[in-house]
Amino acid sequence: MELRRPAEAGHRRMRMLTLVATALGSALAFLDTTVVIVALPRMEKDLGLGLTGQQWVYLSYALSLSAFYLVGGAIGDRVGLRRTFVVGVVLFALASLLTALAPSEGVLIAGRALQGVGGAVLTTTSLALLRVTWAGEAGRAIGLWTSLTSLATVGGPPLGGLIVQTVSWRWVFLINVPLAVVTIVLAIVGRGEERRPPGRSTLDLVGSGLVAVALLGISYAIVEVRAQGLAAVAPFLVVGVAALAGLVVWTLRARGPVVPPSLLRAPGLACANLVTLVMYAALGAHLLFLPVYLQFLGFSPTLAGLVFAPPSIGLILFAPRFGRYADRNGPRLPIAFGAATIGTAVLLLLPATTRPDAWVWGVASICLFAVGLPAVVAPITAAALAPAPEDLAGVAAGLNQTVARVGGILSVAAVGALAERLFVQRGGTGDTPFDPSAVGAVRAAGVDAFHGVVLSVSALAFLAAVLAAALLRGRRQRSTPSSVSSATLRSSPPA
């Protein structure tokens, strides 16, 4: 017994080091979605991005995540989870350094795209690595991982806003480098005897490439159509639609497509993912444009970053309760309630046209939003997993995450294009509707542009509520395919 104690202590140490490494790495990837949003107005001022450039700073990261999210796990299964995780962190750190030193808009966007590739690889392997190293206690490890990443999600945006306000937006990216080094050291020191699962997962490079081309072509056409005209962006739109059609054909004919056709035929899965697409379209546009608008009204980056704190706290406190309700009574009611609550919360921003008004209506909106968000997140994930066969539960989760990100990408592109158009129609001039230095008619045009954002986001949220009420199950669910209660399920932050 005494001889085994050092080995047991070493095993516990290895598991804890792995837990801290995966939580820190994942927190970095999550934060670079939210913190960057707070920094966008300062980036625009330094590099002259305009609204279109700001959209691409966000979209390039989100597109890379979506394109490599599913394939990242397959790479980990082939070459080893820990090795792949470390490679993902290294790529994320190098991309962060490139982004921090970017001298121009093009380099900045390229760095963000590379960050997305690294973020996709490291986040997809994080949970899988925990399952391997913690084995029978994986549930406890994932719970600890969720708590650690949630703390980062709550505190990260205000801290990032403070860094932007007092130092420079570039330090938001530079700080990733030493934290990534710590993550890599912890992951390597925590290495143990980890057996690779038998067999090799399918690496569908063709399917993943078609996903990337479809998203890039369609998003580029939507974002650039106002500036370049329909004739100029039509080829990109055609290529994007053709890639989307090719993905459907490839999925039906390939031996090992990234999403098996049998999963797509599961009853109820398409409905759940349709609701996810519309709901996360609303969330993606709202969480991008709200902090930018608050800085337009005169709030500091630090205060603008605080808009993420109440929703994150709401997720921690209430998501398990709404998840348990969905387990007992079905996901229809909580999702419909949550989506309608979010739609109402967004409408409360309409009177917030000045900084004093924003303190009243903005706070009310954020607090109500923090009630609606946890009612949606866990139940909508459970609804997407429930129809899947047990052996495809992991793929179903990956599909749902990808659909959620695609919804955010398309809405940011479309709603941003609408905001620019309204800004010009109302007499606005300049590269962005939300320039904090604007005055007079230009400032009024910026407010009108944000009203277009508010009405679009609210309409999407109410549409999601209607779809949930009409399409999702209202009766009790026996269990999820993975035998995990929906109370413990948590989607990645809306992006």
DSSP structure string for 65-130: HHHHHHHHHHHHHHH-HHHHHHHHHHHHHHHHHHHHT--SHHHHHHHHHHHHHHHHHHHHHHHHHH
pLDDT (tens digit per residue) in 413-435? 889 889 988 998 988 887 788 88
* Whole-number Å distance between alpha carbons of 16 and 24: 12
pLDDT (tens digit per residue) in 16-71? 888 888 888 888 888 887 788 888 888 988 888 888 888 888 888 888 887 777 67
Mean pLDDT of 149-165: 78
Sign of CA dihedral 234, 236, 237, 239: positive
Q: Which residues of 99-117 are buried (b: 16+ CB within 10 A; e: fewer)?
A: bbebeebeebbbbbbbbbb
Instruction: Name which of 310, 434, 329 is nearest 382 in CA terms.
Output: 329
Residue 474: is its pLDDT beyond 70? no
Give me the chain's average pLDDT, please: 82
* Whole-number Å distance between alpha carbons of 150 and 142: 12
* Whole-number Å distance between alpha carbons of 3 and 39: 54
pLDDT category at 480 given cuts 50, 70, 90 is very low
Residue 141: is its pLDDT beyond 80? no
Looking at residue 489, what is its pLDDT? Answer: 46
Q: Fill in the amino acid letter for 463.
A: L
Instruction: Name which of 157, 163, 169 is nearest 31 in CA terms.
Output: 157
Residue 465: is its pLDDT beyond 80? yes
Question: Does residue 114 contact residue 95 with C-beta atoms inside 8 Å?
Answer: yes
Looking at residue 221, what is its pLDDT? Answer: 82
* Whole-number Å distance between alpha carbons of 185 and 138: 22
Q: Does domain 265-495 have CATH number 3.40.228.10?
A: no
* Whole-number Å distance between alpha carbons of 184 and 180: 6
Residue 473: is its pLDDT beyond 70? yes
Question: Does residue 61 contact residue 107 with C-beta atoms inside 8 Å?
Answer: no
More confident residue, 128 or 349: 349
Which residue do the tokens 């608050």 mark? 294
Cβ neighbors of 45 (< 8 A, separation 6 or more) are: none
pLDDT (tens digit per residue) in 317-370? 887 778 778 778 888 999 999 999 999 999 999 999 999 999 999 999 999 999
Pull the structure tokens for residue 3. Answer: 């001889």
Percent of the chain with pLDDT over 90: 29
pLDDT (tens digit per residue) in 179-206? 999 999 998 887 765 555 544 455 677 8
pTM, to two decimals: 0.77
Pick the CATH number of 1-190 from 3.40.640.10, 1.20.1250.20, 1.10.10.10, 1.10.3720.10: 1.20.1250.20
pLDDT (tens digit per residue) in 56-96? 888 888 888 877 776 776 677 677 788 889 999 999 999 99
pLDDT (tens digit per residue) in 238-259? 998 999 899 888 888 887 777 7
Looking at residue 263, what is its pLDDT? Answer: 74
Class of residue 1 by CB neighbours under 10 A (exposed 0-12, middle 13-18, buried 19+):
exposed
Instruction: Name which of 113, 118, 111 is nearest 97 in CA terms.
Output: 111
* Whole-number Å distance between alpha carbons of 180 and 298: 34
Q: How far is CA 251 from the centre of its chain?
A: 25
List, as one string, the DSSP characters of 42-56: HHHHHH--HHHHHHH
Collapsed DSSP state (helix, strand, coil) of residue 436: coil
* Whole-number Å distance between alpha carbons of 345 and 310: 13
CA distances for 399 relative to 288, 341, 384, 484, angstroms: 23, 26, 9, 17
